[in-house]
Amino acid sequence: MENSNEILTELQEIAPILSMDGVSRIPYTIPSGYFEDFSAILMSRIHLETAGIPDPVIAGMLNRNEPTELSPLEEISGISPLLAGIQKKNPYQVPAGYFEALKTKIPSSAVSSSIDASENIPSKRVALDSRLSASDSIHIQQGSIASQVKPVFFLSRAMKYAVAACLVGLLGITIYNMNNRYVTDPISGLTTVSEQDMANFLDAGDFHWTPVTTSETASVDFSDNDIHALFSNVSDAELEQYHPVLPAEKGSVN
Amino acid sequence: MAELTTDTELLALFREPATKEKAFTVIVKKYQERLYWHIRRMLVDHDDSNDVLQNVFIRVWNALGGFREDAQLYTWLYRIATNECLTFIEQQKKKAAVSLNEMESGLSNKIRADKDFNSNKLEWKLQLAIQQLPEKQRVVFMLRYYDEMPYEEMSRVLETSAGALKASYHHAAKKIEDFILNH
């Protein structure tokens, strides 16, 4: 390394502030023990990455040119001697009698309800051809377990769903019909139409109508003078011709 | 073995299968801190730095057998570490689809997010200032300022002439000073 003084002198010439005490201190922190553990972590990673690749020394010792597949123990020994040394003890627990109960649970789901419980059927060998060898085949003592087998009513479950679906459908149709009846009622339908829309409709249909906007009911308010003025130009004969049925009420309005 | 063995002896031990792993562990212990801080100053984040440092030593493990001793081991290690850092930054940029400026502001944000960050302290301002530099200048400045690496060695690490590195360091130091004075 170059003399620190030379570097400091160079820095003082370029940027004096950077040569001040404490500036070059690195403020970052690292997890405690990081450097102590680093080489061990690194080596385990290297072992992991090179696992499966035969070491030339080991290959020479074995006097084999072709790489051979390592047994699980050899493989784990190469990756982690610590793991290879640990006993493969299962730390998990199962409920008491779990495996005994399992023996009866598996056949009960596999055997169909058509089996006659009273029939004395010899034991049946079921081989899971590709996964299990003949020695691993499962013996199901059907005769002995048949009494424990409960028939499974697949239809009853299907029926439950069907009935539920029907009820939901009926309810839906009833609600639809009720709503539909109110909607088709013309009077109730008109309540939702605005007056302006009605006026537009009447105009389009050559009707003459002016919406009453100031009050809800229309009223005609004529005084006697108004009536007199209206009928002043109409003769009594014309009036009698228009309304001849009321002789008692005959009289001049003029 | 660690302090008493020279790099040349360690390399010889590494080439022997029986002592390969032990020699490598010594090399790791000898250089891990220097390389870590070189990477950390570039990447700011500890987890990123740890990943890159491991990658550096895995590369070293794979390539050390063929290392020609015409350069010093530490120069070669710095070169691998620097390249790994730059590759990592490049990958991060591609992954996040951000520009260089955005990446630099991201690193500045990481500095500000540090639990010990204090904007009034000069050493923290310096870290922020370093992140404003272009990548090459940043590396040159850090190798010279923190690692006190001679220009001749640095030219082997960065494959750049000593004169160009001198100029680069000069520019970097001036920029950093300006940043500190104006922030």
Q: Does B112 share its domain with B57?
A: no
In a domain, A170, yes or no: yes
Q: Does B131 share its domain with B84?
A: no
Cβ-contact B131, B113 below 8 angstroms: no
For the stretch B21-64, pLDDT in tens is 999 999 999 999 999 999 999 998 999 999 999 999 999 999 99
From first to last of its 254 residues, chain A has per-residue pLDDT tens of 566 778 888 888 888 888 777 777 888 888 888 888 888 888 888 887 776 554 444 344 334 444 455 566 665 566 556 555 655 555 556 567 766 665 455 555 544 444 444 444 444 444 444 444 444 444 444 444 444 445 555 556 778 888 899 899 999 888 888 877 655 556 666 677 788 887 787 777 655 555 555 445 555 666 777 777 777 777 778 777 776 555 555 444 44
Tell whether A24 is within 8 A of chain B (Cβ).
yes
Tell whether B112 is within 8 A of chain A (Cβ).
no
**Which residues 159-178 in chain B show a CB within 8 A of chain A?**
169-170, 173-174, 176-177
Single out the residue of B169, B166, B156 nearest to residue B79, CA to CA. B156
Quote the domain boundaries for residue A116: 98-152
Single out the residue of B110, B63, B106 nearest to residue B83, CA to CA. B63
* For B114, nearest residue in chain A (alpha carbons): A28
Tell whether A244 is within 8 A of chain B (Cβ).
no
* For B47, nearest residue in chain A (alpha carbons): A30
Q: Does B91 share its domain with B157?
A: no
In a domain, A114, yes or no: yes
Whichever domain contains B166, its CATH number is 1.10.10.10
How far from A152 is each of A124, A164, B61, CA to CA, in Å? 21, 20, 64
Tell whether A164 is within 8 A of chain B (Cβ).
no
ipTM score assigned to the predicted complex = 0.72
The count of domains in chain B is 2
Instruction: Residue A45: list chain B partners with CB under 8 A.
Output: 54, 58
* Å between A50 CA and nearest CA of chain B: 10
Quote the domain boundaries for residue B107: 101-183
Cα–Cα distance for residue pair A165/A169, rounded to 1 Å: 6
The count of domains in chain A is 4
Other Cβ atoms less than 10 A from the Cβ of A111: the count is 17
